[in-house]
Amino acid sequence: MLFPILASPVIADDFFNPFSQFDEVGAGMWAAVAFGWNGATQGASFRIVGNPLGAGFNWLWLWSAARLGVSMTTFFAVTKYVVLVSCAGCIAWCWKAAGEACGGRGPTLRSAFVWVSVVFFATLQIHAPWSNDPVANYPLAGYVAAGIGFLVIGAACRVGAQPTLRRIATSSVLATCAVLYYEINIGAVAGGALVLAYGCWRMRRGPSMSASLVALTVFVCVPASFILVGRSVTGGNTGTYAGTTVRLSGAPTTFARGFVSSLPGSAWRLSIQTLGGQLAVVFFVFATVFLVAWVFRWWSSSEPSADPTDADGSDIGIAVAVVCAIGLYASFALALQSITIKVQDEAPAVGYVYTWYAMTSCAVALGLAAAARYLSMRPASARVRYVAVGLGLSVLFVQNTVNWRLSEQLTTSYAANRRLLDAFDQDIVPVARCAALIQWQTIVWPDYYESGITDGIQEAFDYYFGEPFCPLIGPTD
């Protein structure tokens, strides 16, 4: 299910960043980290955790290609795989923590991971041909941030269930790192605070009331203090970037479109338009969907069937609080970016997405996974199960077909990108390297983009291998 996403080419900022960064600061891990720190403190967003990690990733990407011989294309595909699987694991852990907070009514971690993974991977849609897509691109900004956000909510559930000093400290540090990684995770902290607030209300007459109040206060105040510091440091820089410039007039429409765009199948119309109405029949998908169906059947039968009377000891209030927390997180991510000029201009219709899609698609996947598990463990009618399974397999089949075709189209459209990345190898002769770079330059790129990549790849290759990438091309400065 993930192969079309992993096989999609490296494009846009992901393609630009490692070479432009080398052009600006040269080699060295600490130089990269310092570059990321400076970008976080002098740019529009105070991401003193996220930016250094991103810059360190760019350094590691080039270093691995030069020193370990790992293809840059392969490295990026492996990164996307690790990120998506890890994100599914974070969602599953959040689900398990919420279940434990409800009185142990949730799935095991293994079961939650299987349910989430199948639903999550089956419903992911590639949007890269027409959008800034966190599915095929931007893994560190998209699903890494989303995974951290779900860890924050899960940690809040654990603190709400048992507010020990260790859990309070861990959740507060995690919440602070989350907002310093990407400010969109303020929504996750707000959602976690909602869970803790319910915990305070639930324990209002119990001996743990004081501990619950301390947990809520620390969980909110520590990240908030860093947000205020960040705002004071970067507040004067926000007007330099359209992604932080607010325009309220178009926000409601953009939010509504984004909400619909978060649902499975919402981008199929745009996909068919982009593909020119072409539909490829991927025959082995049939085998895949039936295999998934049988695995689901086996897995659900391996868990004890729920008895309606089992719910008597569960805390429905905490379940509602968790659902509201996840909804708040997804809604905040969408709303935060919907008020900006950049997102409003770049999302003119249903099916267009931005970074917020990582958060909303995770929330939708968790909801669908919970619903699927509920149906598999309840004495529902055969007709309901048949409709649910049929609908699920249909979505899986169509979505996989659409993703395969879009991935193939992207690979064809950006063949020059892949050829240039694969040429960053000492074993490639200079004539072939020059041909790859010259062919890439024949495409019309923005001036900053072409110069950043051309100068960066020349300097990086000369640093690591002792010769220019292409002797026929001089510096663009």
The pLDDT assigned to 391 comes to: 76
What would the DSSP string read from start to end of 37-59? HHHHHHSSS--TTHHHHHHHHHH
Residues 6+ apart with CB under 8 A from 212: 160, 163, 196, 199, 200, 203
Tokens read off for 473 = 């091309």
Contact 19, 453 (CB under 8 A): yes
211 sits in the region (left: phi over 0; alpha: psi -120 to 50; else beta) called alpha
The pLDDT assigned to 310 comes to: 44
Q: Rounded distance, CA 397 to CA 264, Å?
A: 12
Q: Rounded distance, CA 313 to CA 239, Å?
A: 53
Among candidate residues 365, 338, 84, 101, the one with its CA nearest the CA of residue 215: 101
Q: Where are the alpha helices (DSSP H) in 162-283?
A: 165-181, 186-202, 209-234, 251-261, 268-274
Sign of CA dihedral 386, 387, 391, 394: positive
The pLDDT assigned to 143 comes to: 95
The pLDDT assigned to 277 comes to: 63
Contact 336, 182 (CB under 8 A): no
Amino acid at 311: A
The pLDDT assigned to 283 comes to: 41
CA dist list (Å): 148 to 100, 236, 399, 418, 445: 19, 28, 26, 30, 34
Q: Rounded distance, CA 66 to CA 296, Å?
A: 43
Q: Rounded distance, CA 118 to CA 67, Å?
A: 36
Three-class secondary structure of residue 277 per DSSP: coil
* Structural domain boundaries in the chain: 13-415, 423-477
Note down pLDDT in tens along the chain; length 477 residues. 899 999 999 998 999 999 999 999 988 899 999 999 998 888 778 889 999 999 999 999 999 999 998 999 999 999 999 999 999 999 999 999 998 888 767 788 999 999 999 999 999 999 999 999 899 999 999 999 999 999 999 999 999 888 888 999 999 999 999 999 999 999 999 999 999 998 888 877 666 778 888 888 999 999 999 989 888 877 666 555 566 678 888 899 999 999 999 999 899 889 988 887 654 444 444 455 555 555 555 555 544 444 444 444 456 888 899 999 999 999 999 999 999 999 999 889 999 999 999 999 999 999 999 988 888 777 655 566 667 777 777 788 888 889 999 999 999 999 999 999 999 887 889 999 999 999 999 999 999 999 999 999 999 999 999 998 998 887 766
pTM of the model: 0.89
Q: 331-355 burial string, b = 16+ CB within 10 Å, else e?
A: bbbbbbbbbbebbbebbeebbbbbb
Half-sphere exposure of 149 (CA within 13 A, CB side): 32
Q: Rounded distance, CA 109 to CA 91, Å?
A: 10
Q: Rounded distance, CA 269 to CA 271, Å?
A: 5
Tell me the backbone φ, ψ of residue 246, rounded to 5 degrees.
Answer: -90, 140
Contact 184, 355 (CB under 8 A): yes
Three-class secondary structure of residue 445 per DSSP: coil
